[in-house]
Every structure is written in C-alpha cells, then in structure tokens.
A and B are shown apart, each in its own frame.
Chain A
Amino acid sequence: MDLIVFWIMAPVSVGAAVLMLLQRNAVYAALFLVLNQFTLAVFFVLLDAHFLAAVQVIVYAGAIMVLFLFVIMFLGVDRREALVEPIRGQRGLAIGLGLLLAAGVVLAIGLGIGLARAPGPAPGGDNIEAVARVLFTDYVFPFELTSILLIIAAVAAMVLARRKARGLPDLADEAPAGREPERVP
C-alpha cells in the first residue's frame, strides 16, 4: 500500500516540477508548484510526519503560493518569457551540471545507506504530540525567535514595497516619466 502510493506520487511530483520549469507563463508555473507541494505533503504522511504534512498544505500550498499568485497578478499576468537564452552556454551547462549533481547525490545515497534498505520501525504515539513536545521544550527559544523573524520580515516587506516614504525620495517618483510601469491591458 505504502509503496503503491509512493510509486504513484513520485512521478507526479517530479513531473509537476519539470512542467513547472517548462511553463512560459508564471501562473501555470505556480499552479504546477502547488501540485508538487501537495505530493510532498503526501510523502510527509508516508513518513509519519502528519503535522508537517498539514503545515505543508496550509502554509506552503495555501498561504505562500497565494502570495506568489498575488504578486504575479500584480505584476501583470501575461508577461511571457522569451525562449531565447541570452547567456551563451548557460542552459546546456546548467542542465549538464544539474544532472551531474543529481547523479552524484543519488550515487552518494546508494553508497551511503543502500537504495533498498527498509526504514526503521515507525515511532509509536502521536506525531503531533511528539513534535509539540520537542518544539516547546528543547526548541522553545528558537521557536520564539522565529516570531521575531517573522515580524521583521513583515516590517521589511512593508518598507520595501511601500510606494511613498516620508522624508525619503520615492523611488518610483524619481524614475523618468517615460518609464512609468506600463500595464498590459
């Protein structure tokens, strides 16, 4: 059962990732990424990480990807990327080196732990409880720190993205009139 789910999900996952890469339109790319993330959530379940599976769906596939889509819309939906690669050798080298990297990692996994080795026994008890216990005892301080990180990030985003700041020259305003953002109808 386990293995069947995996073998269904793995091609879907990799395929979604590849398709994401091939989309010229950012919206489609985002949607394929969402699909990919759902498959990852399934993998998490298979690995008995129920809590993270939920987080993956809610935070990643939900919140973050919505943010992406929002920005895509904001910047204009139907901007298309040109297919011509301006940097000579970039595409070939990238794919070649990428394959090399993948091969290397797979080889390392094979050499390191063996491809067919069965996993250890599943931990008993409630995964959510276990995670919570560790998170709020051993890692409570980093956990609190993340809240600060998020606040800073939120503030930073506001500062960076706001249109006009008091006392500071507005970046957009300084641009010459002819370079106002042109919105494609």
Chain B
Amino acid sequence: MRTPIAFFLVVSALLFTIGTVGVLVRRNALVIFMSIELQLNAVNLTLIAFSRQLGEVNGQVLAFFSMVVAAAEVVVGLAIIVAIFRRRVSANVDDINLLRW
C-alpha cells in the first residue's frame, strides 16, 4: 500500500515547526541558520509531495530551484556570519542589536 500524501505533509509541517522554534529559541547564529535549512527542507518535502500527488514534475523543478537558492543563501549567509564574527567576536545574534530605536 502506498503511503498517503498527507502523511508526508504532516511530517513536513512538524519539521517546519521544529525549524521555526529553532530559529526562535537558539542564539547561535549557525544553529539558527541550520534551523532555517530545516524549514527549507520541510518546504521542499511539501513541494515534492504535492508534485507526486498531481502526477507531474513541475513541483520537483521548483524544489530544485529552491535548493539552488538555498545553496546561494547559505554561502552568503555564512560569509556574513564570518564577517560579523571577525568584527564582534561572537556568533550570538542577541549581541547584534545595533538596529534598535
């Protein structure tokens, strides 16, 4: 018996939520970043699940692009983290609060 698509979607939703909570509760910029990756992956799972449900590959292509974008984002994001770390000797996002009132 084939797994119902909804199962995948539920897993995806859980993963996404975990990622979200991770972004919110963690303070290490790197871990926050990983949580974001988790969210992205969860979304990819949703895309592919729907693609399978609809019986066509457009969703997969979209997931593919999302991976490419994620790759680019990781590269730039990590570079930013490195740059900030050089300047402030910290990867704690709570230390970076110049942009307030």
Direct contact of A and B (CB under 8 A): yes
Residues of B close to A105: CB separation below 8 A: 13, 16-17
Residues of B close to A51: CB separation below 8 A: 60, 64
Is A171 within 8 A of B87, CB to CB?
yes
Complex CA gap A46/B8 in Å reads 10
Contact (A52, B60) CB under 8 Å given A26-B31, A71-B78 = yes
Is A131 within 8 A of B64, CB to CB?
yes
Contact (A156, B64) CB under 8 Å given A29-B31, A43-B11, A94-B24 = no
CB proximity of A20 to chain B, nearest CB, Å: 7
Residues of B close to A120: CB separation below 8 A: 52-55
The listed residue (A43, A131, A179) touching B57 by CB distance below 8 A is A131
CB proximity of B27 to chain A, nearest CB, Å: 6
Complex CA gap A36/B53 in Å reads 23
Residues of B close to A114: CB separation below 8 A: 6
Complex CA gap A113/B7 in Å reads 11
**Closest chain B residue to A82, Cβ basis:** B27
Is B3 within 8 A of A91, CB to CB?
no
The listed residue (A52, A64, A134) touching B71 by CB distance below 8 A is A64
Contact (A109, B69) CB under 8 Å given A95-B25, A156-B76 = no
CB proximity to B under 8 Å, residues A145-165: 146, 149-150, 152-154, 156-158, 160-161, 163
Q: Say whether chain A's binding surface is mostly helix, strand, loop, or mixed.
A: helix
Q: Say whether chain B's binding surface is mostly helix, strand, loop, or mixed.
A: helix
Is B86 within 8 A of A74, CB to CB?
no
Complex CA gap A117/B53 in Å reads 10
Residues of A close to B64: CB separation below 8 A: 51-52, 55, 131, 135
The listed residue (A98, A119, A127, A158) touching B17 by CB distance below 8 A is A98
Q: Is B96 an interface residue (CB 8 A)?
A: no
The interface bits of chain B over 2-44 (1 if a CB of A lies within 8 angstroms of the residue's CB, else 0) are 1111111111011111111110111110110111011001001
**Closest chain B residue to A135, Cβ basis:** B61
The listed residue (A64, A91, A182) touching B74 by CB distance below 8 A is A64
The listed residue (A14, A119, A153) touching B53 by CB distance below 8 A is A119
Residues of A close to B73: CB separation below 8 A: 153
Binding site for B on A (CB under 8 A): 2-3, 6, 10, 13-14, 17-18, 20-21, 23, 26, 29-30, 33, 36-37, 40, 43-44, 46-49, 51-52, 55-56, 59-60, 63-64, 67-68, 71-72, 74-75, 79, 81-82, 85-87, 90-91, 93-95, 98-99, 101-102, 105-106, 109-110, 113-123, 127, 130-131, 134-135, 139, 142, 146, 149-150, 152-154, 156-158, 160-161, 163, 171-172, 175, 179-182
